[in-house]
Chain A
């Protein structure tokens, strides 16, 4: 494992390029699963946004769904009130989530793990309560319906979800490229430094709080985009976008894929959502039991998730190289 403090090689490896060809191939191979496909892409984007603060900056958040939900409701309300243009809706949702994330971040950077946990959890619950009580605006438990989306750059949102799939994939890819650049920059390295030993970072001139505030805001904005994507592609916003189970599941699938490496969130989202689609169809209660058991086993025996396991496998096989995103 080369963890030398050099700037990482930012070249795209063959494995990464192949990885991104997969969703394109899926479009042609599984044309009947496009709706699930775009859900996976959206949750993947959300997981990547959580990875920024959890995997890179080491902030444990139990309320990341707050920003997702805020983005979803922003895009939803825009559309309900007559502005159905998707891309600008996405940008406005991102700004709303970013502003909220910026404000919350000042509470989060204070204090230690338990306080951070409580603040993120509390903020998430507060937004949930707010959306629940403000039924006049948000539709409360019935959800926000009546969204009408305009054409996306000339493409109609179709019932098969073809436009939604491409839309989600392109947004995910564009943001991923930006974030990949971000975590490979000196700023990204400095975040890892904070994760590994926040008390020593000021000694080399890093403004820890400012960097945490920055990454938290970026992460919130990306989560907001994911939420807006969900709202626009399904043309519905349910109260569950803000719920605690979503935050917890998000944490789970990120850890399942492997945190601190961007791709972990995407792989985790794919594995988790496909398994959920398959098992939860049989019985939702069983699903929760198995995911709980899986989580306990991962923590006890398989730290690093799928990608961590692959890394270890590769080390044992004696190969070097491969993507270290």
Chain B
């Protein structure tokens, strides 16, 4: 029972870190531009499909396909931000919701058209198969790898945000974009780059997550609520909040599905309602 619990915890953390990787961009862009972007999952899906295509058609190894997924999604994000998103920063939330639902529908239909409605297979390298022993606990090799990648990326992200000039610009723009612009920060460029970075991370998460979340054209709709949950519970614009929220949600979701499969996804929705009642602005959200 106890090792069971440890296993569930481990899987939950792996799942949560994946959620964090995909959602962190959404959280930052939501905090930065106050934009409700329901199409974020579509960027993750793009990353997933790029991974599958370059691996299965071009024979590129799995590890190399991940940076390509990042780049493809980041490019898609950059272009869309420059062409479409920036027109709607000042629009009402309803407009933003409709616009991003429209984008999501288009992405879903396009993916169905190109790749068909079925689940995409992923061929992991042999060293990511099976179980490895970690401190006397048998854990999935792939999940361990997943956690490792997310830890590295999170550290890099933390360094970027806390220690670099660009990170300072992001933080300043999140806090007060008008004052930042007045101080000579090119806020619009910060927006674009942040959006691209967030989309790229989502793409990377989409590629990494094929084995855990699956990949089919309904991906952006199926997981939309999870990504939004991370942001809403963590508090928009807070990276630390997103991490905590993603881990909580991941652990509870896995535990719920493992211990009480009959009520399934209920656990996570109930948790969300409870958290939102007690923390309407998110766990680490700022009062706006």
Give residues in A with beta carbon < 8 Å to B. Answer: 54, 58, 60, 62, 107, 110-115, 117-119, 121-123, 125-126, 129-130, 133, 244-245, 248, 251-252, 255, 285-289, 291-296, 298-300, 303
Contacts and interface: CB of A to CB of B under 8 A. Distances in A.
B113 interface: yes
Chain B, interface size category, equals 35 or more
A292 B102 contact: yes
Contact of A255 (B93, B98, B112): B98
A252 B272 contact: no
Contacts of B110: 289
Contact of A300 (B84, B97, B263, B272): B84
B138 interface: no
Interface string B86-104: 0110010111011101111
A123 to B, nearest CB: 8
Contacts of B106: 288-289, 292-293, 296
B179 to A, nearest CB: 22
B102 A296 contact: yes
B98 A119 contact: no
B166 interface: no
B30 interface: yes
B93 A119 contact: no
A107 B276 CA distance: 9
A129 B236 contact: no
20 contacts: A62-B97, A111-B281, A112-B280, A112-B288, A114-B228, A114-B231, A118-B232, A122-B225, A122-B272, A251-B98, A251-B101, A255-B94, A255-B98, A287-B109, A289-B106, A291-B102, A292-B109, A295-B101, A296-B103, A299-B102
B259 interface: no
A278 B266 CA distance: 37
A133 B261 CA distance: 10
A129 B265 CA distance: 7
A111 B99 contact: no
Given A118-B228, A292-B105, A252 B265 contact: no
Contact of A113 (B36, B101, B277, B281): B36
Given A289-B106, A291-B105, A114 B269 contact: no
B229 interface: yes
Given A111-B280, A285-B113, A129 B95 contact: no
B225 A252 contact: no
Contacts of A58: 94
Given A121-B228, A133-B264, A289-B106, A295 B98 contact: yes
A195 B98 CA distance: 18
A204 B103 CA distance: 41
B221 interface: yes
A54 B109 contact: no
Given A129-B266, A289-B110, A296-B106, A115 B99 contact: no
Given A115-B232, A289-B106, 11 more contacts: A107-B276, A113-B93, A115-B276, A115-B280, A123-B273, A252-B102, A288-B108, A292-B108, A293-B102, A296-B106, A300-B88
Interface of B: 30, 36, 84, 87-88, 91, 93-95, 97-99, 101-110, 112-113, 221, 225, 228-229, 231-232, 236, 262-266, 269-270, 272-273, 276-277, 280-281, 288
A119 B275 CA distance: 11
B239 to A, nearest CB: 17
Nearest to A288: B109
Contacts of A291: 102, 105
A25 B263 CA distance: 49
A115 B276 CA distance: 7
Nearest to A118: B232
A251 B98 CA distance: 8
The 10 A-B pairs of least Cβ separation, nearest first, read A292-B105, A295-B102, A289-B109, A292-B106, A296-B102, A113-B93, A111-B280, A288-B109, A299-B99, A292-B102
B273 A289 contact: no
Contacts of B264: 129, 133
Contact of B101 (A123, A130, A248, A303): A248
A123 B273 CA distance: 8
Nearest to B91: A299
B99 A296 contact: yes
Contacts of B97: 60, 62, 117, 251
Contacts of B288: 112
Given A125-B269, A133-B264, A289 B280 contact: no
A117 B273 CA distance: 12
Contacts of B231: 114
A295 B99 contact: yes
A296 B106 CA distance: 10
A214 B216 CA distance: 41
